[in-house]
Structure 1
Amino acid sequence: MDFSKVMQERRSVKKYDQNVKMTKEKIEKIIEIASLSPSAWNLQQWHFLIVTDEDKKQLLQRCAWNQPKVSEASASIVVLGDLLAYERAGEVAEEWAQKSYVPSDGKKGLIDSIYNFYEDIQTQRDEAIRGASLAAMSLMLTAKDMGYATCPMIGFDPEAIRKEFSIPDRYVPALMITLGKGEETRERASRRSPKEIITYETF
C-alpha cells in the first residue's frame, strides 16, 4: 500500500473479528519490520510482550480496565521500554567498528559516551519510552500495510501488568496495542491544521 494511504486509512479500531486468529509468523513479521525503527545509538530500547492465549488475554483485560478489545483482538501487545538498553553499548561499538562507522580505537570512547549519556535515571526512562513509542507507531503502520487493524492504549495499570506477567524491572510498560482484523466505520475525528501546530524558528 502507498505510504500516504496507510497513514490516511489507519484508524484506532476498537472492535475485532474474534474468529480471526493471526499466526505467530504473521505477528513476528510485523514486529520484525517495526524493529527497523530508529533509536539513539541503535540501542533498540523496545521489547514486546505478545499475548494471544485466551486466558492470558482475559487476565490482561482485567489489568486494562476490562476493555473488551483486549481479549477480542487476535493479539494484545504490551510495548515495553528497556531501561538498561545502554548496557548493549559494547555490542553497538563492536558492530560500528566492523562497519567502519568508528575506528577500532574509537570503541571505548563510544561506549563511554553511551554510558555517560544514560547515567541519569530520568534519561534512561525517557529514552525507554521514546524508543518503545517509535517502535509502536511503526508496528501500527506495518500492521495496516499488511491488512490488520490496531489500537494504541494507555488505559491500563502498569504495575498490575508487571505483577501478573512477571515483567522484569528493567522494562517499563509504555503502551499497549491491540492487533487483529477489524475496521472503524465512523468518520475520522478532525485534526488540527498545520498553522495551528507549527512554529518556525522560535516562539
Structure 2
Amino acid sequence: MQVKDAIYQRRSTKAFDPAHKLTDAEEKELLEATIQSPTSFNIQHWRFVILRDPELRAKIRKEHGNDQSQITDASLLVLFTGDTKAWEKAPSRYWVNVPTDISEMIVNWMGEFHQGREWLQRDEAQRSIGMAMQTMMLAAQGMGYQSCPMIGFDIEAVAKLIHLPDDHVMGPMVAIGKGTKEPWPKPGQLSLEELVVENGFPPNA
C-alpha cells in the first residue's frame, strides 16, 4: 500500500473481531515501524504499555473506559506513555552512531534546552507520543489492519493500574485489529482556506 493510500484510508474503527490475534512477527513489525518516528534530539520519550492481560483490559473497559468495546476486542491495545526525564537519562545512548564530537555537542545542547523547563519536558514527551501514534496507525493500515486512537478513559485511574512512574506522562491508547464494521462517513474536513495561514496571523486590531 502506498503511504498516501494509508493516510486517506485510515479511519477510527470502533468494532473489532475479538477472536483475531496478531502474530508475534506482526506485532514486532508494527512496533519496529512505530519507533522509526522522529523525536526531538532523538530522545525517544515513548514507553509503550502493551495491555495484554484480558482481566486488566476488562477492568479498564468496565470501570474506567466508558464500556468501549475496542478496549477488550482489539487484537492489540497499546497505551502510549512518555518519559519526561528521558533527556537526562544516559543521553549519549541516543547518539551512539555518530562521531564522538558530534554526540557530545548534541548532548550538551539537549541538557541546556530542557534544564529547568518542566513544561517543555512534558510538551516534548507528548509531541513524541503523538507522532509515534500516527506512525503506528499508518503502519497498521499498510499491514491490512484497522486502528482507533482512544482518550475516552479515566487517565488517573489507569495510570494507577499500570503503576505509571512519577516522571512519565499518559497519552492515548491505540487499538489495532480486524475491523468488523464499516466506519462512519468522514464527518467533514475544514477547507485549506480556513486552516492555512501565510507567513503569520493578522496583527490584532
> What is aligned with 1:177?
174
Distance change in 2, residues 1:94/1:142 (3 Å): closer
| Corresponding residue for residue 153 of structure 1 | 150
* Residue in 2 that maps onto 1:190: 188
Aligned to 2:128: 131
Equivalenced residue count is 197
Tell me the distance in 1 between the aligned counterparts of 2:76 and 2:131. 20
CA contact (8 A) 1:78 1:177 kept: yes
- TM-score normalized by the length of structure 1: 0.90
Distance 1:13 1:169 in 2: 32
Gaps of 5+ in 1: 98-103
- Give a deviation string over 1:91-120, Cα, whole Å, max 9, x none: 1344322xxxxxx34544332211121111
2:93 aligned partner, one-letter code? E
Structure 1 residue 28: deviation in Å?
Answer: 2.0
Within-5 A mapping of 1:77-156: 77-86=78-87, 87-97=89-99, 104-119=100-115, 120-156=117-153
RMSD of aligned alpha carbons: 1.6
Q: Deviations over 1:149-180 (max 9, x none)?
A: 11101111222111111222232111111111
3-state SS of 2:98 partner: helix
Deviation at 1:77, TM superposition (A): 1.0
The amino acid that maps onto 2:172 is L
Q: 1:54 to 1:143 in 2, by over 3 A?
A: same
| Alignment partners' CA distance in 2, 1:70 and 1:139 | 17
In structure 2, runs of 5+ residues without a counterpart are none
Query: Does the 8 A contact of 1:12 with 1:184 survive in 2?
Result: no
Q: Which moved more, 1:134-143 or 1:68-77?
A: 68-77
Does the aligned pair in 1 maintain the 2:14–2:183 contact within 8 Å? no
Give 3-state SS (helix, strand or coil) of 1:96's partner: coil
Is residue 47–residue 79 contact of structure 1 (8 Å, CA) maintained in 2? yes
1:48 alignment partner in structure 2 = 48
Compared with structure 1, are the counterparts of its residues 113 and 58 closer, same or farther at alpha carbon in structure 2 (3 Å cutoff)? same
